[in-house]
Amino acid sequence: MLARAKDPLSTYAEITWCPGCGNFGLLTALKKVLKGWQEEGALSRLVLVSGIGCHAKIVDYVAVNSFYAIHGRVLPVAWGIKMARPELTVLGHAGDGDAYGEGLAHLIFAAKRNLNLTLVVHNNSVYGLTTGQFTPTSPKGFKGRSTPKGSPETPINPLELMLASGATFVARGYAGRPAHLATLIEAGLRHPGFAFIDVLQPCYTFFNTYDFFNARVKELPPGHDPTDFEAALRWALKWDYSQEAQEIPLGIFYQVSKPLYEDLVRVSPKEPDLEEHIKRLHS
């Protein structure tokens, strides 16, 4: 049996994250979302796609359709699934190495195209599974195994990049607040278009940021208007992913509606009349 008898959303796979890993919070949030879909009888319409890394193991742990892909390629796989079956809802789980390093180009294009997908980035600012190298969101000076003297690079701000790339849904969650995170994921799944959620995920073993985040994360004020691009950008610029910040905002920074890529590109399958086509074009 794939699913555990006592917890049918879970599989028999043993969870192999380090004790204390932020991914547990993410799993809690995901399961909360899945539960809702299950209750609505819609679980089989959901597909998860993951990269490779600690984050990616999440798909082994839930008894839901999944494509455990390769490092950096969550988005093109998700895109293909969606092109074939637009009635499915596709949720990607990527790491920060995955989404902002190896696979960065796909991320910008997913936003540019407004693909109808949701992407959750387990952003621990470290390559967890390969034992602690710096990633595109590691703070400058981060001492990882490939940068023993400290990272020479300034981190990117994924929210800023996503806003600059035309994303229609830009949010930030925190693995330490699974209930809030679940609402973000749910909102992302219901958003028609590309929903991007950067999730601050402490890596207990290689970059333990619990204290740093606990002291700083704060939900966006209720008055924030997510359709206001400039406000969204201002909020996004509040924190530059360095190790210094007064306040790190969480929530939906930006959400607007734009035409969907799939509606513009997808051709409905049909039985072509090849004979006719050849007569018309090639004879």
Partner 1 sequence: MELNVLFGGRAGDGIRQLGQLWARLLARRGYRVFLYDDYPSLIRGGHNFTVVRASELPVSSHRERVEILVALNSEALERHRWRLEKEGLILGEDLEAGVSVPWKEIVKEERAPAIMRNTAALASLARLLDIPWEELEGHLRRDLPKETELNLKIAHRSYQKTSGGVFRSLPVLSQEPWPTFFGNEALALGAVAAGLKLYVAYPMTPASSILHYLALHGETLGVTTIHPENEIAAILCALGASYAGWPSMVGTSGGGFALMVEALSLAGQAELPIVIIECQRPGPSTGVPTYTMQGDLDFVASAGHGEFPRVVLAPGEAEEAFRLSAWALYLAWKFQIPVLVLSDKQVSESLFTTKLPLDEVPRLEFKAWAGGGEYQRYALAPDGISPLAFPGDPQAVVKVNSYEHDPYGITTEEPELIAQMQEKRFRKLSLLKDLLDAPAWVKAEGEGETALVVWGSTRGPAWEVARALGWRYVQPLVLEPFPERALKAALEGVKKVIVAETNFTGALVRRLKAHGIQVDHQVLKYDGRPFSLEELEGKVRGL
The verdict on 106 binding partner 1 (CB under 8 A) reads yes
Number of residues in contact with partner 1 under rule CB under 8 A: 80
Residues 80-109 contacting a second copy, CB under 8 A:
104-105, 108-109
- Shortest distance, position 60 Cβ to ligand SF4, whole Å: 13
- Shortest distance, position 104 Cβ to a second copy, whole Å: 4
d(CA 54, CA 10): 17
d(CA 234, CA 247): 13
The verdict on 154 binding a second copy (CB under 8 A) reads yes
- Structure-token match 């996503």, residue found: 162
Nearest of 64, 57, 66, 65 to residue 98 by alpha carbon: 57
- Shortest distance, position 24 Cβ to ligand SF4, whole Å: 8
The verdict on 198 binding ligand TPP (CB under 6 A) reads no
Please say which residue, 117 or 181, places its beta carbon nearer to ligand SF4. Answer: 181
Q: CB under 6 A: which stretch of 15-23, 38-46, 148-156, 164-172 binds ligand SF4?
A: 15-23
DSSP 55: G
d(CA 178, CA 176): 6
Please say which residue, 18 or 83, places its beta carbon nearer to ligand TPP. Answer: 18
- CB distance 201 to 26 below 8 Å: yes
- CB distance 112 to 161 below 8 Å: no
Contact pattern for ligand TPP over residues 131 through 160, marking x by CB under 6 A: ----x-------------------------
Residues 83-142 contacting ligand TPP, CB under 6 A:
95-98, 122, 124, 126-130, 135
d(CA 211, CA 17): 20
- Cα 13 to its chain centre, rounded Å, is 22
Burial 99-124 (b: 16+ CB within 10 A, else e): bbbbbbebbbbbbebbbbbbbbbbbb
The verdict on 87 binding partner 1 (CB under 8 A) reads yes
- Interacting residue ranges for ligand TPP, rule: CB under 6 A: 51-55, 71, 95-98, 122, 124, 126-130, 135
Q: Give the binding site for ligand SF4 (CB under 6 A).
A: 17-18, 21, 23, 54, 124, 128, 203-206
